[in-house]
Amino acid sequence: MLYYLLYPLHTTFSFFNVFRYITFRTIYACLTAFLICFLLGPWVIRKLRDLQIGQYIQEDGPEHHHIKAGTPTMGGTLIVFAVVLSTLLWANLGNPYIWIILLVTVSFGLIGFADDYLMLIKKRNMGLSARQKFLLQLVAALLAGTLFYCCADFDTRLALPFFKNITPDLGWGYIFFAALVIVGTSNAVNLTDGLDGLAIGPVIVVSVTYMIFAYVTGHVKIADYLQISYVAGSGEASVFCGVLAGAGLGFLWFNAYPAQIFMGDVGSLSLGAAIGTLAVVTKQEIMLILVGGLFVMEALSVIFQVGFFKISKGRRIFRMAPLHHHFELKGWPEPKVIVRFWIISIALALLSISTLKLR
C-alpha cells in the first residue's frame, strides 16, 4: 500500500524514490513485522492466558514436556496477522504472486486455527482428523497451483539444481506438483514444531535464503549471469520473505526456551505452506529439499519410524519420532537439541546458496 501511496510522491520529493526499491521495502517490511510481533506479543500472551487457551500435552511424550502444560498456544494468529499486515503495507499489491502467497498463508492459517480450536474445545491433544486436515490442505494448495498455472508467463518447467539444461515441462501436472510442495512443506514444519523455537528458527533461516533466491530469480541480469530461471515478478516475493523473517524473529523473542507461547497449528501450517509457495514462485522447488533439509529430516524420521513400526510389528528405528524427541530421550537437554538443529539449518542454507554458483 505504501508503495502506491508514497512512491508517486517521488516526482515532488526525490526521497520517495526509495519506495521503488525491493531491497528498501524488504528491510522495512521485515522490521514492521518484527515490531508487530514484538510489541503485541505480551498482550497476546496475556489474552490467551485470560481465555485459557493453553497447550494440552500428550502423556506418552518425553517427561519434561509435562511442565509445559497450559503454555498459551495459537500464537500463530499473531504471526499471520503481522505477516498479512506488513505485506499489505510494503509489497507491491499489483503483483499476483503476492496475493497467491497471502491466500495460501491465510487459508492454511485458518485450517490450523480450526485444528487448534477443536483441540481446545475437546480439551485434549486432538483437533481435526489427519484425513480432514489433509483434504482441506489439498483443496487450498490445488487452488494455489491452479492460480499459478493461470498466471500469464508462469513457467511450468522444473529447474533442477546443478543441471541447467534439464528442465522437464510438467504442463498442467505442475498444479499437482505445486500442491505437493505446499502441503508437504506445511506438514513438515508442523512436525518440526515440537520444541521451543525449533520450528521458527529454521523458518527464519529458510525465509532469508528464499529472500536471496527471490531477488536473484526476479532480476533479469543477475538471473542471466547465474544461469538460473528468470521469473518476472518473483523479486517482489523477497518483500514477503522479509516479512516472514521479521515476524519469525518477533515471535522467537517469546517462543525462545523456555517458551512463553507456542505457535499452534495456525502458525506451523501457515508458515510451512508459505515457504512451499515461495519455493514455487521462485522456481526453486527442488532446492527446498536442501534449504529446508531440517524439515525434511524431521518428516523422514516420522515416515521411516511409522513404516518400520508397522512392518516390524512394533519395533522402532528411533527412540521416538519426530527426530527431536529421539535426541531428547537420549538425554540431550532441550536447548542443546534446538541450537544444534538451528546450526544444521544454517549450514544447509549456506550450502544451498552456494549452489547458485555451481552450475
The residue range among 157-165, 169-177, 221-229, 263-271 that interacts with ligand 57M, by the rule CB under 6 A, is: 263-271
Cβ–Cβ under 8 Å, residues 338 and 197: yes
Please return the burial class of 194, using the count of CB atoms within 10 Å of its CB with bins 0-12, 13-18 and 19+.
buried
**∠ Cα 20 210 183 (to 5°):** 120
Helix (H, G, I), strand (E, B), or coil: what is residue 338? helix
Would you give the binding string for ligand 57M spanning residues 175-214, x where CB under 6 A is met? ---------------xx-xxxx------------------
**∠ Cα 62 188 274 (to 5°):** 130
Question: Does residue 87 bind ligand 57M (CB under 6 A)?
Answer: no
Question: Does residue 321 bind ligand 57M (CB under 6 A)?
Answer: yes
Question: Does residue 341 bind ligand 57M (CB under 6 A)?
Answer: no
Reported as type and span, the H/E element at residue 187 is helix 173-192
Cβ–Cβ under 8 Å, residues 266 and 82: no
The residue range among 52-60, 84-92, 242-250, 272-280 that interacts with ligand 57M, by the rule CB under 6 A, is: 52-60
The residue range among 12-20, 274-282, 288-296, 298-306 that interacts with ligand 57M, by the rule CB under 6 A, is: 298-306
Closest of 348, 248, 335 to residue 295, by C-alpha: 348
How many residues of this chain bind ligand 57M (CB under 6 A)? Answer: 29
Minimum CB–partner distance for residue 245 and ligand 57M (Å): 18
Cα(324)–Cα(341) distance, rounded to whole angstroms?
A: 8
Q: Which of 26, 86, 255, 282 binds ligand 57M (CB under 6 A)?
A: 255
Kindly list the residues in this chain that would bind ligand 57M in the complex (CB under 6 A): 55, 57-58, 60-61, 65, 68, 73, 190-191, 193-196, 255, 259, 262-265, 268, 302, 305-306, 309, 316, 320-322
